[in-house]
Amino acid sequence: MKRIHCLSVLFLILLGLVVSGCMGLDEASVQNSQFQKDISYSDDFEYAVSEEPIPIDSGSAGVGGVSAERKTITTVDMSIEVDDAHATVETIAKAARAAGGYVSSSSVYDSYYDSSNAKEGYITVRVPESDYPQFIADIEGLGKVTSKSESGRDVTEEYIDVTARLGNLKRQETRLFEILNMTETVEEVLSVEKELERVRGEIDSLTGRLNYLDDRIEFSTINVRVTEPRPITRSWGLRDAVSESVNGFISMVNALIVLVGYLLPLVIVVVVFGGAFVAVRRRMRR
């Protein structure tokens, strides 16, 4: 009986352990499923947030703090006819400085028209983008506009790209300085300084490009060609006729000279052989 009683107690203990183990597994399974559910909900939430469209205001800052407004480079080419080219070039230069701009280049020279004292001029000015329409109107009032063209090159995408790359490189430079302060060996210092030198070179290059774009965007380029009217001469065609006659005579003389140059050796040969033939014939008659 004692043996049966001991076996019964042992069986009850084992049964209790099995039941408690199953309950622990069920609880762990419930917790695991709840954890997976939380992860799934968190992923869905993150995905939903990342897919949410962000409204963009055209007047607000864009990528890297760059304004979303359009960046354009304006260039104007025009020609005007005036009575005094030199004075007009000086007037345009003064107007550009008064508008807050500057003169990039200018020149005045004699016209290519023959027997004429007419002059021509060329001037390139840079004026603020906001003032260039009024500046163009003022130039048009100085004389007769013979040609005019205007072009605008959109550089918004390049401007935003350069600004974003420059910002990333500056953050990388800051991080490299932090790493440099934590280095302990000479090899690590040299390696970090080499990377810093590369980053600084790229920063300088992009900064120069950004400054160039800012200058071209803020100041419009205006190229003006200034000409004086060609004097009208009345010769009833006599001067042209005399000129053509003289040119024709000179051309004929040149052709004769060339012809004589080609025929002269032949004439010399004929004269020499003809004289020798006559001399031999006279001797034979004697």
Q: How far is CA 9 from the centre of its chain?
A: 94
Query: What pTM does this model have?
Result: 0.53
CA angle 93, 99, 100 (to 5 degrees): 95
Mean per-residue pLDDT of the chain:
76
| Residue bearing the bigger pLDDT, 156 or 63 | 156
Per-residue pLDDT, averaged over 83-87, amounts to 90
| Residue bearing the bigger pLDDT, 181 or 274 | 181
Q: Which range has the top average pLDDT, 33-37, 62-66, 278-282?
A: 278-282
* pLDDT of residue 64 exceeding 70: no
- What does the pLDDT read at residue 265? 83
* pLDDT of residue 182 exceeding 70: yes
How does pLDDT run across 132-152, given as a tens digit for each residue? 889 999 999 999 999 999 999
User: Quick check: 75 and 220 in contact, CB under 8 A?
Assistant: yes
pLDDT category at 115 given cuts 50, 70, 90 is low
- What does the pLDDT read at residue 116? 60
* pLDDT of residue 127 exceeding 50: yes
pLDDT category at 214 given cuts 50, 70, 90 is very high
The CA-to-CA distance between both ends of the chain, in Å, stands at 187
- What does the pLDDT read at residue 276? 79
| Residue bearing the bigger pLDDT, 65 or 106 | 106
* pLDDT of residue 60 exceeding 50: no
- What does the pLDDT read at residue 39? 34
Per-residue pLDDT, averaged over 18-36, amounts to 44
Domain regions of the chain by residue span: 70-246
pLDDT category at 271 given cuts 50, 70, 90 is confident
Q: How far is CA 286 from the centre of its chain?
A: 98
Bridge partners of 79?
A: 147, 225
Measuring CA to CA, which residue among 82, 91, 90, 89 is closest to residue 143?
82
> In the chain, pLDDT over 90 holds for what percent of residues?
36
- What does the pLDDT read at residue 21? 47
- What does the pLDDT read at residue 238? 63
**Lowest model confidence (mean pLDDT) among 134-138, 143-147, 157-161, 258-262:** 258-262
* pLDDT of residue 46 exceeding 60: no
